[in-house]
């Protein structure tokens, strides 16, 4: 596996692969890799000639009071995992390589960036859209792989890729979960044993809401209340930022439950902010 730290070298390398007629799959990550990330790498390996994994803890997507400085980092462990999966290139730029002095171009995917997580993390999706655009320009991917776990991120990136004619296919992969349903996340490392137990309420609330809808409930407010009640029963979860039924395209709250709907939840639990979601065909 090739390790590249310089954007220009990464771009030259990827261009050469494309010139040889190879397809490139990109898996953008912030590292501290777990099975969720690894599932994206495996998928890319199965669908492309070349798989590039990027690890970059993007400062532009963290708010001033967020966890940038304590975000888990494990470059050694990550490199080993990526090597074992036989990815071809690891792109590991530092902050200065991605945001050199004088950097002042940012991308704003309007409307959808302000909903759900965007309302609680101002500027987050601006940072995501900017870094993903840079990574697309640097690695020129045929396909790029993202997890459904960050559902809003996939909506923002799909929009971005379309609006800016990137020509990259955005592939969304299923959420990988722990044995008790908790969605894998690098941020789960922040949880104490007690908080880790309470965290199962997210999956429980999504499952109960999904079952409720599949057994015929058509009023979004009833389902939303049920989700809120399940989360409220865990005193360690506070506050619930949002929990409810949404339109998977616009991310607006759904009034009526019809066709495919998104169940989504974001909570604070100790030092962690946890999110999860489920798409349900009603």
Rounded to an integer, what distance in angstroms lies between the CA atom of residue 181 and that of residue 194? 16
Structure tokens at 109: 């995917």
Binders of ligand AMP: how many residues, by CB under 6 A? 17
30 near ligand AMP, judged by CB under 6 A:
yes
199 near ligand AMP, judged by CB under 6 A:
no
184 near ligand AMP, judged by CB under 6 A:
yes
36 near ligand AMP, judged by CB under 6 A:
yes
Residues 144-173 that bind ligand AMP (CB under 6 A): 146-147, 149-150, 173
175 near ligand AMP, judged by CB under 6 A:
yes
Q: Name the E strands within 129-247.
A: 143-147, 169-173, 237-246
CB 244 within 8 A of CB 253: yes
Burial of 255 (0-12, 13-18, 19+ CB in 10 A): exposed
Residue the block writes with tokens 């995992």? 81
Tell me if the bond preceding 84 is cis, omega within 30° of 0: no
81 near ligand AMP, judged by CB under 6 A:
no
248 near ligand AMP, judged by CB under 6 A:
no
Q: Which of 87, 107, 156, 183 binds ligand AMP (CB under 6 A)?
A: 183
CB neighbours of 6 closer than 8 A, spacing ≥ 6? 93, 97
261 near ligand AMP, judged by CB under 6 A:
no
Catalytic residues: 37
Q: Which of 176, 191, 199, 257 binds ligand AMP (CB under 6 A)?
A: 176
Rounded to an integer, what distance in angstroms lies between the CA atom of residue 282 and that of residue 256? 11
25 near ligand AMP, judged by CB under 6 A:
no
CB neighbours of 229 closer than 8 A, spacing ≥ 6? none
Burial of 45 (0-12, 13-18, 19+ CB in 10 A): middle
Residue with smaller CB distance to ligand AMP, 98 or 220: 98
Task: Give the interface segment with ligand AMP, choosing from 31-39, 73-81, 106-114, 232-240 (CB under 6 A).
Answer: 31-39
37 near ligand AMP, judged by CB under 6 A:
yes
> How many beta carbons lie within 10 A of that of residue 84, not counting itself?
11
Q: How far is the CB of 102 from ligand AMP (least distance, A)?
A: 26
29 near ligand AMP, judged by CB under 6 A:
yes
265 near ligand AMP, judged by CB under 6 A:
no
**Residue nearest ligand AMP, CB atom distance:** 147
Residues lying near ligand AMP in the complex (CB under 6 A) are found at 29-30, 36-37, 39-40, 146-147, 149-150, 173, 175-176, 183-186
């Amino acid at each position: 596996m090739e390790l590249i730290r310089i954007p220009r070298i990464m771009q030259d390398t990827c261009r050469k692969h494309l010139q040889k007629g190879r397809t490139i799959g990109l898996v953008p990550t912030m590292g501290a890799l777990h099975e969720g990330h690894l599932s994206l790498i495996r998928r890319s390996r199965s669908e492309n000639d070349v798989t590039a994994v990027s690890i970059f803890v993007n400062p532009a997507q963290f708010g001033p009071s967020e966890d940038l400085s304590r975000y888990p980092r494990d470059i050694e462990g990550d490199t080993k995992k990526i090597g074992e999966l036989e990815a071809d290139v690891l792109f590991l730029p530092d902050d200065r390589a991605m945001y050199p002095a004088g950097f002042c171009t940012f991308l704003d995917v309007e409307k959808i960036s302000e909903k759900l997580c965007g309302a609680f993390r101002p500027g987050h999706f601006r940072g995501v859209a900017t870094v993903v655009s840079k990574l697309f320009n640097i690695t020129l991917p045929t396909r790029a792989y993202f997890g459904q776990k960050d559902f809003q991120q996939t909506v923002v990136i799909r929009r971005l890729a379309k609006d800016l004619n990137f020509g990259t296919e955005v592939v969304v992969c299923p959420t990988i979960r722990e044995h008790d349903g908790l969605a894998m996340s690098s941020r789960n490392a922040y949880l104490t044993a007690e908080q880790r137990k309470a965290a199962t309420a997210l999956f429980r609330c999504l499952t109960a809401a999904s079952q409720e809808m599949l057994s015929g409930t058509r009023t979004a407010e009833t389902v939303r209340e049920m989700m809120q009640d399940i989360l409220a029963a865990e005193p360690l979860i506070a506050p619930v930022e949002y929990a409810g039924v949404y339109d998977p395209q616009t991310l607006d709250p759904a009034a009526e439950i019809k066709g495919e709907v998104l169940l989504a939840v974001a909570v604070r639990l100790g030092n962690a902010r946890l999110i999860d979601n489920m798409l349900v065909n009603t």
